[in-house]
Amino acid sequence: MDRFQLMNVFVGVAEEQGFAAAARRLRMSPPAVTRAIATLEKRLGVQLLHRTTRHVRTTEAGKRYLEDARRILAEADAADEAAAGINTQPRGRVSVTAPVLFGRMYVMPGIIEYLTRYPGTEVAAVFLDRVVNLLEEGFDVGIRIGELPDSNLHAVRVGSVRVVLCASNEYLERGNIPRTPRDLLKHSLIASRAGGDSFDWRFEGRLLRTQPRLSVTTNDAAIEAALRGFGITRLLSYQVAPLVQAGDLKLLLEKYEPPPLPIHIVHQEGRHASAKIRTFVDLMIQRLRKDLALVK
């Protein structure tokens, strides 16, 4: 194998954290992948991977080499695309991350459209309710909800969402409807810990320390409990928009809501953003900006 092929195999093993998984991704045999890594480490004179019976992890030298290898391969792809012309169809693998419910509701339909439109592409989607470091974890594109820290990533704002309180009509018919945030302390509350949210709920710049009767680790579970009439929950507006529209859940205390949270698509900018990434980002921008549930 030439140097670029060896780099590509190493990136595959490092990102998949396994030789068998990398072999499937690269459409190679596991022995061929193993030989390629051995050849690369021998050529460099340094160990790039820690191997155990369960895990494969990059060494410190491997982490540095992984970052450089990704950059070099991206630049090579960009050079190929520039030489072939702007009409070249996107090809290759795009890795995407987004929050769990947002990924299922909004990103997955866009991924399916992208794959259908461009047969030469592949997408690896990871939906997590935590902030993912795109560069360290090897993602090409991320969807972020909330204010962005300073970084060298390119960010495109596509909308915003609200932090809302909601409950079912069944629950509200059994007790008084809260009129102020402090009234919530008299109610059965459901708290989702997805994304590391605390039990301190913010209203107009003030914190209300709540005592939830039920705390769960996923937003889906909080929604289910609210639908079953257990109590009031606090979520993002997009997560319950279809249920509110259908009348299954009712929004509460809307005038006390904190400012909306922005939604951004983030990705590597400049010539490192290859045609496959630019095309995916453009498609998602168009889809998200026209969705009425993502308030501008």
CATH code, domain carrying 177: 3.40.190.290
Range of the domain at 141: 89-152+271-296
Q: Is residue 264 part of a domain?
A: no
**CATH number, residue 282:** 3.40.190.10
- CA distances in angstroms from 194 to 162, 215, 217, listed in the order given: 16, 10, 5
158 in a domain, yes or no?
Answer: no
State the total domains in the chain.
Answer: 3
- Is 71 among the domain residues? yes
The pTM (predicted TM-score) of the whole model is 0.72
Q: What is the mean pLDDT of residues 175-187?
A: 90
Q: Is residue 16 part of a domain?
A: yes
pLDDT in tens, 42-71: 888 999 998 877 778 898 888 888 888 888
pLDDT band of residue 269 (cuts 50, 70, 90) is low
Q: Identify the sign of the CA torsion 281, 286, 291, 294.
A: positive
Cα dist from 19 to 27, 124, 271, whole Å: 12, 17, 30
Tens digit of each residue's pLDDT (9 = 90 or more) over 245-257: 999 999 999 999 9
Structure tokens at 136: 């360290």
Q: What is the DSSP letter of 118?
A: -
Q: What was the pLDDT predicted at 115?
A: 96
Segment 74-100 shows an average pLDDT of: 78
Q: What is the pLDDT of residue 133?
A: 82
Of the chain, the percentage scoring pLDDT greater than 70 comes to 93
Taking residues 128-146, report their average pLDDT. 86
